[in-house]
C-alpha cells in the first residue's frame, strides 16, 4: 500500500542536459514553443529524450536525483510512494513530464500528471488590458491554491504528503515551498552540485538545539516570559509556537501551541524507515 504522495515540482533540467549533449549546435530556448511542440508531437523525438534520460537518470534529471536520495534516506521503495508531477503548461515541460512519468511508472511508482494548473504560465490568454506580469502573478496565486487543495485532498488517501521543490524556476519553487508551509507538510530539494538532500520539517521552522531543549522542557506547563531564551520570543510568536495564557492576570505567562507540539513530535520521532 502506498503510504506517501510526493508533490513534485518539475523543471526542465532533463532538456537542458539533452540539448547540451547535442554539442556545438544552435540550441533552442526553453520558451521556443514551436520547436518543442514539434518534439512533443514526434514519437521518435520523444523516444530519443527518454533514451537519453534512461542512460543516466539521476545525472540528467534533478527530480530523479532528489527522489532517489529521499527513498534511500527514508527507507522507501518506489511502490510506497505515489507522485504528483506539477509543471508549466509549455511544450518543453510536457516533454519532461511525459519522460518522467514513463520512467517513474517503470520503477513502480503510481504517477499523477495534472492536465494543467489553472491560469499558470501562459495556460490562459491574457486580457487585452492585463500586463503579462499581472497574469503571471495571478497564475502563481492559482498554483498555490491548487497545491494546497491537492495536499488536503491527498490526506484522505495517503498517510503523508511531501513536497519536492527541486525542479522549476525560482517563482515555481517558492510557491511549492509556501504550499508545503501552509499545509504543514515536509519539503525537500537537492541542488545539482550537492551531495546530500536538504529537508525542511513541517511548519518550516528549524529551532536550534537550545530552543528545542527549552520547548521540550515546557511541553505541558506554562512558563513566564522572562524564562524564554534570549531573542527567541519574537520568532516563536511570529511562527505561532507559543501563545499568551488566557486569564493570566499578570499577562506574562506563555504556553506552547499545538503547532509547537507537532513540530517537537516531528523533530523527536525517528526517521521514517529507521528502527524505533
Provide the grid cell at 203: 511548519
**163-167, 182-186, 249-253: lowest mean pLDDT where?**
249-253
pLDDT (0 to 100) of residue 273? 41
Whose cell is 507540539? That residue is: 261
Q: Which of these three, 157, 176, 204, is where a domain ends?
A: 204
Q: Is residue 276 part of a domain?
A: no
Domain range for 138 = 4-204
Q: Is residue 56 part of a domain?
A: yes
- Give, in order, the Cα–Cα distances in Å from 180 to each of 97, 139, 141: 21, 18, 14
User: Based on the domain organization, do 221 and 174 belong to the same domain?
Assistant: no
pLDDT (0 to 100) of residue 30? 80
Q: How far apart are CA 78 and CA 196, in angstroms?
A: 19
pLDDT above 90 (res 106): yes
User: Based on the domain organization, do 74 and 200 belong to the same domain?
Assistant: yes
Provide the grid cell at 36: 518543442
Q: Is residue 121 part of a domain?
A: yes
**107-116, 117-126, 162-171: lowest mean pLDDT where?**
117-126
Question: Is there a contact between 41 and 138 (Cβ–Cβ < 8 Å)?
Answer: no
CATH value at residue 65: 3.40.50.10770
Query: pLDDT tens digits for 114-137?
Result: 866 655 555 555 566 667 677 777
Q: Which of these three, 162, 189, 204, is where a domain ends?
A: 204
User: Based on the domain organization, do 156 and 221 belong to the same domain?
Assistant: no
Count the residues in the chain: 276
Mean pLDDT for the chain overall: 85
User: Based on the domain organization, do 154 and 68 belong to the same domain?
Assistant: yes
Sheet containing 160-164: which strands, arranged edge to edge?
Answer: 110-112, 81-86, 4-9, 160-164, 187-189, 198-200
Question: Is there a contact between 102 and 24 (Cβ–Cβ < 8 Å)?
Answer: no
What average pLDDT does range 164-190 have in this prediction?
Answer: 88
Q: Is residue 274 part of a domain?
A: no
Question: Is there a contact between 196 and 40 (Cβ–Cβ < 8 Å)?
Answer: no
Q: Is residue 153 part of a domain?
A: yes
Fill in the DSSP letter of residue 79. G
The structure's pTM equals 0.76
Number of domains in the chain: 2
pLDDT (0 to 100) of residue 169? 78
Q: Is residue 275 part of a domain?
A: no
User: Based on the domain organization, do 156 and 232 belong to the same domain?
Assistant: no
> CB within 8 A of 133, min separation 6: which ones?
none
Q: How far apart are CA 147 and CA 127, in angstroms?
A: 25
Mark out the alpha helices in 41-90 (DSSP H runs).
Answer: 43-55, 57-60, 62-74
pLDDT (0 to 100) of residue 122? 52
Beta strands in the chain (DSSP E): 4-9, 81-86, 110-112, 160-164, 187-189, 198-200, 223-224, 242-244, 253-256
User: Based on the domain organization, do 57 and 13 belong to the same domain?
Assistant: yes
Q: How far apart are CA 202 and CA 180, in angstroms?
A: 7
Q: How far apart are CA 77 and CA 3, in angstroms?
A: 10
Query: pLDDT tens digits for 34-92?
Result: 899 999 999 999 999 999 999 999 999 999 999 999 999 999 999 999 999 998 888 89
pLDDT above 70 (res 14): yes
What average pLDDT does range 222-251 have in this prediction?
Answer: 87
Q: How far apart are CA 8 and CA 64, in angstroms?
A: 10
User: Based on the domain organization, do 213 and 197 belong to the same domain?
Assistant: no
Amino acid at each position: 500500500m502506498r503510504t506517501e504522495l510526493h508533490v513534485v515540482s518539475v523543471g526542465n533540467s532533463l532538456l537542458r542536459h539533452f540539448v547540451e549533449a547535442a554539442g556545438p549546435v544552435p540550441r533552442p530556448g526553453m520558451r521556443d514553443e514551436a520547436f518543442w511542440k514539434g518534439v512533443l508531437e514526434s514519437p521518435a523525438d520523444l523516444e530519443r529524450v527518454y533514451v537519453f534520460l534512461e542512460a543516466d537518470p539521476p545525472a540528467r534529471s534533478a527530480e530523479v536525483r532528489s527522489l532517489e536520495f529521499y527513498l534511500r534516506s527514508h527507507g522507501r521503495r518506489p511502490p510506497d510512494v505515489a507522485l504528483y508531477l506539477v509543471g508549466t503548461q509549455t511544450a518543453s515541460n510536457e516533454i519532461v513530464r511525459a519522460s518522467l512519468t514513463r520512467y517513474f511508472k517503470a520503477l513502480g511508482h503510481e504517477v499523477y500528471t495534472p492536465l494543467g494548473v489553472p491560469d499558470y504560465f501562459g495556460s490562459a490568454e491574457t486580457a487585452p488590458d492585463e500586463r503579462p506580469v499581472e497574469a503571471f502573478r495571478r497564475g502563481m496565486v492559482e498554483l498555490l491554491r491548487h497545491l494546497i487543495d491537492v495536499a488536503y485532498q491527498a490526506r484522505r488517501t495517503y498517510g503523508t504528503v511531501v513536497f519536492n521543490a527541486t525542479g522549476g524556476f525560482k517563482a515555481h519553487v517558492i510557491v511549492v515551498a509556501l504550499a508545503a508551509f501552509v499545509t504543514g507538510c515536509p519539503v525537500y530539494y537537492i541542488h545539482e552540485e550537492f551531495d546530500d538532500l536538504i529537508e525542511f520539517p513541517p511548519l518550516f521552522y528549524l529551532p536550534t538545539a537550545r530552543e528545542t531543549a527549552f520547548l521540550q522542557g515546557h511541553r505541558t506547563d506554562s512558563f513566564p516570559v522572562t524564562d524564554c531564551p534570549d531573542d527567541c520570543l519574537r520568532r516563536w510568536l511570529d511562527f505561532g509556537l507559543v501563545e499568551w495564557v488566557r486569564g493570566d492576570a499578570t499577562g506574562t505567562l506563555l504556553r506552547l501551541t499545538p503547532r509547537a507540539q507537532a513540530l517537537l513530535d516531528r523533530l523527536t520521532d525517528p526517521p521514517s524507515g529507521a528502527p524505533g
